[in-house]
């Protein structure tokens, strides 16, 4: 099975389990690598209630090192962060990149201005918004993130569909400019299985986006977005089948922010 690079820790305030539990789950799933990529701090603090604080970074480093000790060479432990793409965040991301010998950084869009649109606490805003305008805002933000070149992996590309609000018509009008930007930078995207357990009932991104990405030569990893040990590598066999159907034959492995291809199982 491929690596699982998108997993969380209790430091983000909405995950559970100990590093030893995650390592054991990764070994049971037959993974070659287990990557830890909790929600990075953001400023000003406290930014929200679903990420670690800057002062907790040493605790995060301890978590990674506990996982390494428990793994004891049975599988590789990779260190990452999931960083939010926010207005004016570039300097902060560059600063975070220097805090630890990361293996990869994931870039994600969870916020449109002051709205963390995937947060169930604010679900009511969807019923009041112009879905076309929200999608346009999201994909422009995602495209800007892709063009920044700050990240190794771009997280859950069409997270905006989480609650199944979608505009009418052919969605290529949103996807194609973003695909072009990602391909220009050569950044990897993730096929994130968590969406299968959300209202959209579909992995992120949808098959059409994945097919366009494969045709454009964009690298891909498969991730679970695990917030509990029993979610590590969840639905990976199905995700491999989806990836192959879209045209992928390889996944990617990361070490010290260097990437190499690995055939899909």
Q: What 3-state DSSP class applies to 228?
A: coil
Instruction: Note the pLDDT tens digit of each residue in 50-82.
Output: 999 999 999 999 999 999 999 999 999 999 999
Position with higher pLDDT, 265 vs 8: 8
Kindly report the backbone phi and psi dihedral angles of residue 230, in degrees, each rounded to the nearest multiple of 5, phi listed first: -75, 0
| Cα–Cα nearest to 38, from 69, 76, 79 | 79
pTM above 0.95, yes or no: yes
**17-45 tens-digit pLDDT:** 999 999 999 999 999 999 999 999 999 99
pLDDT of amino acid 253: 98
Q: Which domains does the chain have, with CATH numbers?
A: 10-263 (3.20.20.140)
Q: How many Cα atoms sit within 13 Å of 97 on the Cβ side?
A: 16
Q: Quick one: pLDDT at residue 146?
A: 98
pLDDT at 233: 98
Residues of the chain with pLDDT > 70, as a percent, come to 100
Give 4's DSSP letter. Answer: B
> 114-123, long-range: CB within 8 Å, 24+ apart, which pairs?
116/48, 116/50, 117/160, 117/162, 118/159, 118/160, 118/162, 118/163, 119/50, 123/163
Per DSSP, what are the bridge partners of residue 83?
107
DSSP code string of 143-177: HHHHHH---SEE--TTGGGTTS---SS-THHHHHH
The answer, yes or no, to whether residue 84 has pLDDT greater than 90, is yes
Q: Find the mean pLDDT for residues 236-249.
A: 98
């Amino acid at each position: 099975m491929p690596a699982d690079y998108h997993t969380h820790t209790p430091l983000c305030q909405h995950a559970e389990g100990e590093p030893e539990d995650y390592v054991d789950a990764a070994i049971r799933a037959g993974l070659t690598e287990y990557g830890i990529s909790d929600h990075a701090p953001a400023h000003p603090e406290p930014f929200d209630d679903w990420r670690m604080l800057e002062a907790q970074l040493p605790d995060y480093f301890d978590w990674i090192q506990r996982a390494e000790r428990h793994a004891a060479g049975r599988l590789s432990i990779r260190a990452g962060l999931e960083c939010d793409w926010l207005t004016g965040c570039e300097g902060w991301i560059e600063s975070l990149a220097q805090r630890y010998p990361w293996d990869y950084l994931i870039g994600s869009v969870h916020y449109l201005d002051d709205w963390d649109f995937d947060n169930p606490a604010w679900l009511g805003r969807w019923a009041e918004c112009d879905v076309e305008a929200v999608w346009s805002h999201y994909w422009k933000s995602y495209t800007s993130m892709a063009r920044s070149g700050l990240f190794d992996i771009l997280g859950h590309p069409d997270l905006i569909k989480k609650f199944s609000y979608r505009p009418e018509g052919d969605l290529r009008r949103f996807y194609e400019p973003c695909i072009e930007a990602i391909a220009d930078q050569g950044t990897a995207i993730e096929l994130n299985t968590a969406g299968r357990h959300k209202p959209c009932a579909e992995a992120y991104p949808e098959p059409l986006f994945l097919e366009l990405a494969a045709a454009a030569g964009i690298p891909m990893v498969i991730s679970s977005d695990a917030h509990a040990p029993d979610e590590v590598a969840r639905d990976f066999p199905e995700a491999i089948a989806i990836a192959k159907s879209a045209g992928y034959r390889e996944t990617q492995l990361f070490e010290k922010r260097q990437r190499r291809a690995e055939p899909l199982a």
